[in-house]
Every structure is written in C-alpha cells, then in structure tokens.
Amino acid sequence: MPIKSVDGDLSQNFMEPPDYAHEPPPMSALQDLLFAQFQSKDLLKKAERAGQAYLDGVFDRNAAPSQAAIQSLEAFDEALPIQTTNGEDILDQLINLGSPATSAQIGGRYFGFVNGSVLPVALAARQLAGYWDQNAALNVMSPISAKLEAVAESWLCALFGLAEGSVAGFVSGSSIANLSGIAAARWRLFHRLGWDINRQGLAGAPRLRILISAQAHGTVLKMIGLLGFGTDNVEILPVDAQGRLCAAALPPLDERTILILQAGNVTSGAFDDFENIMPLARAAKSWVHVDGAFGLWAALAPSTCHHVKNMESADSFATDGHKTLNLPYDNAVIMSSDSEALRAAFHSMGAYIQKSGGRDGMFLTPEMSRRARGVEFWAGLKFLGREGIAALVELLHERAKEAAKGFRAAGFEVLNDVVFNQVIVADGKNTTKLMEAIQSEGEIWLGPGQWFGRDVIRFSVCSWASRSRDIERAITAFTRARHKIMNDNSRGE
C-alpha cells in the first residue's frame, strides 16, 4: 500500500528511476549556500529560539501529545524533493508539526518506561558539542572528546568504587553497554580456556555457561543472541516475589560461567542479592556482568546504597546516563575492571587508524565513529558532583514512595516494595482500561507491564522535574480515569 500524504505518495520514491540526465545545479552554488547559512546563522538562531520557546511551555503542558498533533505528522509523508529546500521552511515544519507531537519527557509528569528528563547544563553542553561536530573514535580525531571521556571515566569508576585500572566506554544505551560487557566476558572466559573467540569463533568452542534471572531485561537476552550463544542455551534462574535473584537460587558457579545480575528491575526496581552472590561468584572465578541501566546509581545515595552492597566487585557494569542521571538521550557507559578483555573484545585494525598515547575510545566500544558523548557525561557529573547525584537519586526514590502512598490511599493496589524509583500499580480487573483512559487523557503518561502473569501499570519516576504536585496530579489522573470507567460502565457502554 502506498503511504498517503498531503503532498504526494512516498512510493513514488521507489517507482521512479533516478533522473541522471537531469543536470544538478553547479557545485559552487551548493557550497555558497552552505557558507551563507553558517554566516548568517539564521537557521541556528531560529532553532535556538524555538527550543527555548518549547521549554517555556513544556513543564506545564500534557505529558502526551494530542491526537491532533500526532495526526498532523502525516504532513511529513512527502516524496524526497528534487531540488534543495529552503532551510527556514524545514525548521518551520519541525517547529510547527514536530514540537507539538513530542512527548513531554523533559517535564515532571512523564512516568513511562524509565525515561529521564535532561539537566540544563548537559543540554547546553550537547548544543555546544553539536557545533564542534567531533568524531570521538580516536584521540587524534578529537583531543577534547578524548580528554573529557578520560576524565568522566575516572570520575565514574571512582564514584562506583571500581578497582584501580577500571575503564569505561561511552556508548548509546544500556543495550549496547550490555552487549559490550557480555562480549568482554566472552573474550576473557574463552581466553582462559585457550580459545581465541575473535579468530576461532563459536563453532567447536568449549562451552560456557550463561546464567540470568527470570527477570533479566529483554536487551540482555537480545545481546546473548547477537553474540551467538543462543538464548536456548541460557540457564534461567528463579526470582523472589520482588523480582530479585537470591543467592539460594544459584547453581554451583565455576570459571566457565557468565553470571548476569541486575541492579534495578525494570518493573519493580528491585536489586539482585549482590551482597550474598558476589562472594560466591568471586570464589568460583565466574564473570559477573551487572545490568544497572538505571539502578546502578542506587550505590550513590544513603537511603538506597545498601541494595548494592558488594556490587563493585563485579567484572563489568552497564548503565545509562539518559535515565537516572538525566543526561540527554543516547548516553550510556560500559565499565569494566578487566580493561584487557574489553579492549580485546573491541580490537580493531586498519592501516589508517592512528593510535596515540592518549585515549582512543573506539577500542572500548563496538562502534568506530561516535559523537562526543563524553562532553555531556562530563558536564552532568561536574555539575551535580557527588552530593548532587545523591540528591537526585534520593529525589526520585522519595517521589516514588510518595506516589505509592498516594495510590494506596486512593484505593489502588501497589504490588511492589518501592525500593527505588519504580511503582507497580493495579486496579483489580480494570488495570488495562485504567491505563488506557489515563493515556488517552494525556495529562500524565505511563505504560503497561506484566508482573507474575498480571497486567499492571508501570509508574517510573526518573525526571529531576517531578515535584510533589506532579505526583499529586498523577494520583488525581488515576482517580479521574477510574470514575470515567465507572461512569461508562453504568451507562452500559
């Protein structure tokens, strides 16, 4: 089916052969235009003004875009222009159609997934780094990016109490950070068995064991599949009622075992039992990878740090910057005390690759070309400092507890112990209807989940901007939605 649009039909992009006979405008005209755009700076100023106007409204508007705004996105379904398009028009299209169709994730009433807001200084640093247009692959490409990555690396490793010599690679998200940690584990355990996984591959390799909990995040299984282990070959361990893996559920461990633990269950926020598991894993010389996408930061606040006791002795750690730390999107880190394994997993060569004495980020990550994420990480960490990070974690935890208390007082079920920032809410048989009513009203936004076979609502506090009154508005939205459902039922709809 062709994609219908206002101005035409997208399928024509594929149906018409390219018009090579058509003479393009002179190259110099394009170059002149681009220079003129940077010289006048009109486009950049326009985008900056629009961004600032967006900020003025976004903390008060609904968390969800309206149906009309989403409907209007159809205007983007147009054929690729033949000629260059006026830059101002492009920005107008984004401002007029794009801005209203955003989810107000930057605000304080977006409780879906585990999506954070953004720290102003990190946003500003990103804007500046955008002008720099740095490629962070190698030190020789971008000395400033290499420097800020190196500083952020040392700060992060110190913050989490990792062993001397630990390293960090800056990646897009915890999906890739999980991939990176498991790839390092794979290299190390095979290496110990005299097998070079990079050269010899998996066919005919000695067998490794992979242990995960029944509540491991979907990206963990995805990456296990991608690394060739086969998800059928994973041993899945049972969890307790909070979704925690406890030491008692572990089979005997050995030096061929990759054990993947979780700091922050994506539904309940729960933490695996690091305190009792880590000594067993250390004694057995297993590799422990921690998926701590949002929960790793619990280590840094007084009221939550007991959940991750002994976690620092694991071998690799995945965590996002764009969740708990409230950095802009596309920011995460893989940390490991085994720098040799991480580097070996991402070894890469090429006659044109110029190594330097400095930090070459591409040897710690799957990608080569990357944007300079270290700029945002560095700015966010420097702004908050140790105490600011602790305060941010405490704030998210405190708001989640307020929410749980409010939901219970309003007669809703809360199914988990609120140990971090996640609250699991249900309302008898009406849970899904309730969630849909809340979503369609749009004042707050949150999404569904499954909890031990039950449909539930996941309520995640991950934004620095969530105030007590935003939590109150959320509880009111729940109550309003419940009344609406009751009214609809009594009218026989």
Ligand X SMILES: *Cc1c(COP(=O)(O)O)cnc(C)c1O
Return all residues near 342 (Cβ < 8 A) that are at least 6 apart: 167, 169, 180, 184, 316, 334, 336, 364
Give the CB-nearest residue to ligand X. Answer: 173
Return all residues near 186 (Cβ < 8 A) that are at least 6 apart: 197, 208, 227, 229, 258, 345
> Is the Cβ of residue 265 or residue 286 nearer to ligand X in the bound state?
265
The footprint of ligand X (CB under 6 A) covers 114, 173-175, 217, 219, 264, 266, 291, 293-294, 320, 332
DSSP 311-380: GGGSSEEEEESSSTT-PPSS-EEEEES-HHHHHHHT----TT----SS--GGGGSS-SS---HHHHHHHH
> Is the Cβ of residue 314 or residue 437 nearer to ligand X in the bound state?
314
> Is the Cβ of residue 175 or residue 242 nearer to ligand X in the bound state?
175
Smallest distance from ligand X to CB 82, Å: 38
Smallest distance from ligand X to CB 267, Å: 9
Smallest distance from ligand X to CB 211, Å: 17
Smallest distance from ligand X to CB 37, Å: 33
> Is the Cβ of residue 8 or residue 366 nearer to ligand X in the bound state?
366
> Is the Cβ of residue 174 or residue 180 nearer to ligand X in the bound state?
174
> Is the Cβ of residue 291 or residue 402 nearer to ligand X in the bound state?
291
Smallest distance from ligand X to CB 298, Å: 12
Smallest distance from ligand X to CB 214, Å: 14
> Is the Cβ of residue 142 or residue 178 nearer to ligand X in the bound state?
178
Return all residues near 343 (Cβ < 8 A) that are at least 6 apart: 167, 363, 364
Of 316, 268, 220, nearest to 420 (Cα)?
268
Residue 490, judged by CB atoms within 10 A of its CB (0-12, 13-18, 19+), counts as exposed
How many C-alpha atoms does 351 have within 13 Å on its Cβ side?
0
Residue 191, judged by CB atoms within 10 A of its CB (0-12, 13-18, 19+), counts as middle
Smallest distance from ligand X to CB 458, Å: 11
What are the backbone dihedrals phi and psi of residue 38, each rounded to the nearest 5 degrees, phi first?
-75, -35
